[in-house]
Chains A and B, each alone.
Chain A
Amino acid sequence: MSSLNEGATSRPGSSGFENRAFVAWEPSALELERRAIRRKQNHRNVIIASLSSVLVLGTLLVVAITSPGWKSLTDTFFKWAYGFEVLPKIILGFTTNILLTIIAATCVAIFGMAIALTRTSRSPALTPFRILATIYVDIFRGIPMLLIILLVGFGIPALRLRGLTNNVLILGTTAVVITYSAYVAEVLRSGILTVHPSQRAAARSLGLSNFQTLRHVVLPQALRRVTPPLLNDLVSLIKDTGLVSILGVTDAVRAAQISSSRSFNYTPYVMAAILFLMVTIPLTRFTDRTMRHAIERQNAQGMA
């Protein structure tokens, strides 16, 4: 038996490049000339890009500033002194948005996964649930979220059932979870379906049960593939938590609304927008990076 591994390790192919002698290399005159041309081309591109940016953005700025309403617009929307005065209230409201995002994201992950697993399973016992899950997704992906927030927020208290809450924060979160679970379930389902059946066959042929195959082979690969779209949904979720303000939840949007209705100045809205951007822009950049890595990884796999 020991002769086997010697045969295998001494086979060529595994240790190729390391032993090759290093030879000093000087670029040829031709290559130097090509580099000079490329540098020149690069310079030209930079100049064109700068010129066109200055032209387009400058025109837009000039048009805005010279417009007849510019003065009153800056007074109403960008009165920074007033903005900073009300900022603490808006930040306090914004913590509600963040809290709501965290709770909703957790619930959505659980419900979305449950729905996706139900829809992709082939177990005969789950047939009725599969039908229900399909109907659920069809309905809640097809209704504007604002309507669902209104229906849940005002509909459930109107039932006057004992034990059901009238807390608008909870009702608002519920509405957000209902809607986003439908979206996220579909993203997860598409991820599960992209895992090739041969992976399942390999796992089953090793004796893994259906559940073990799902848990150790299918889901890890599926989740990796859908991480970018899921992060995308998270960015939308953060923004959409602002919609629950319609029920009277004092989030950042509502706080801004209260401040601005007192002073007839819209700067609080701008402050709220900036707060949202401070969270969503880094998250969007992070999503872009994750997506780029995912694509690179996929390409690397294709080459193997």
Chain B
Amino acid sequence: MSAHVLSLVGVRKSFGSEVVLEDISFNVPVHTATVFIGASGSGKSTLLRCINLLDGIDDGVISLDGQSISDPRVNTDEIRRKLGMVFQSFNLFPHMTVMENVTLAPIRVQGLTKSDAEEQAAELLKRFGLLDKAKSYPDRLSGGQQQRVAIIRSLAVRPRLLLLDEITSALDPVLVNEVLSTVRDLKRDGMTMVLATHEMGFAKQVADEVCFLHKGRIVEWGSPEQVIDSPRDPRTQDFLKRVHEAGRL
């Protein structure tokens, strides 16, 4: 039994004849953030969906706290309770208020009473400055607020690991910052995270380890300074050059 919260060994995933992930192996120690960078279509989102068991894998092993979760016999609902996931498109439930969004899983999945769940949710909302929005419906919130609510919703089930899938890609530059500062706060609180992002500056701030994905393979990994500031692999150099030209560094 290791101190790794998450560990992947030789994971492969294909859609039909197209191989999306190949020989993916990495470990995520507790309280650390692993950030995946790479071009669109490099497999970042698929990787996170596979870890959350939303997509099945073709080969390899995914383990959570030393337990294999890629075994078809595991109870997927039980595993997902230990994993929080935040999506690029927020995916808040539009027919529920912010409070109802955040308390749905604690009440239905963890069996908390409504008042306990609401108390806990109010605490989280207050901590992230969204308590005054508790009774609002998602369509009354800005994109940044919606994404922060989505983060809080995933935190409400007290996950072991948080998966963040390009959570700022659908936001305009001004709103990106409020979401990123929320993630920095989580990092400071010791949340273990796996992220996929296009924000290199942010990746440098929160990552303990950065992995560069290229066509479904990890071609370079290491500290953020090493991978982002002085990449060794020509493919990483090329990608970062293009990101730099686009003004995202």
Contact = CB atoms under 8 A, between A and B. Distances in A.
A59 interface: no
B104 A9 contact: no
A5 B54 contact: no
Contact of A221 (B54, B81, B94, B128): B94
Interface residues of A, number: 30
A220 interface: yes
The 10 A-B residue pairs with the shortest CB-CB distance in the complex, in nearest-first order: A8-B129, A207-B81, A202-B91, A206-B105, A205-B85, A304-B139, A9-B129, A207-B109, A207-B80, A5-B129
Interface in B119-145: 126-130, 138-143
B211 interface: no
Interface in B155-199: 157, 174, 178, 181-182, 185, 189
B154 interface: yes
B93 interface: yes
A171 to B, nearest CB: 40
A216 B105 CA distance: 10
Interface string A196-225: 001101111111110010001100110010
B77 A209 contact: yes
Nearest to B76: A204
Interface in B75-132: 77-78, 80-81, 83-85, 87, 89, 91-95, 104-105, 108-109, 126-130
A224 B108 CA distance: 22
Contacts of B91: 198-199, 201-202
B139 A301 contact: yes
Contact of B128 (A8, A207, A208): A8
A217 B130 contact: no
A286 to B, nearest CB: 21
A208 B109 contact: yes
27 contacts: A1-B189, A4-B128, A4-B185, A6-B129, A8-B181, A13-B174, A199-B93, A202-B85, A202-B91, A203-B104, A204-B77, A204-B80, A205-B85, A205-B154, A206-B154, A206-B157, A207-B77, A207-B80, A207-B157, A208-B108, A216-B104, A220-B95, A221-B94, A301-B139, A303-B139, A304-B140, A304-B141
Contacts of B181: 7-8
Interface in A1-37: 1, 4-9, 11, 13
Contacts of A201: 49, 54, 87, 91
A300 interface: yes
Contacts of A206: 80-81, 84, 104-105, 109, 153-154, 157
A8 B174 CA distance: 14
Nearest to B78: A207
Nearest to B92: A202
Nearest to B138: A304
Nearest to A301: B139
Nearest to A3: B185
A205 to B, nearest CB: 4
B178 A11 contact: yes
A5 B128 contact: yes
B46 interface: no
B1 to A, nearest CB: 24
Contacts of B140: 304
Contacts of A1: 127, 189
Contacts of B130: 8
A201 B93 CA distance: 11
B194 to A, nearest CB: 13
B32 interface: no
A198 B54 contact: no
A221 B109 CA distance: 20
B51 to A, nearest CB: 10
A150 B93 CA distance: 46
Contacts of B127: 1, 4-5
A224 B52 CA distance: 30
A57 to B, nearest CB: 44
Contacts of A208: 77, 104-105, 108-109
Interface in B30-85: 49, 52, 54, 77-78, 80-81, 83-85
Contacts of A6: 129
A8 B89 CA distance: 21
A122 to B, nearest CB: 14
A61 to B, nearest CB: 49
A6 B131 CA distance: 12
Nearest to B184: A4
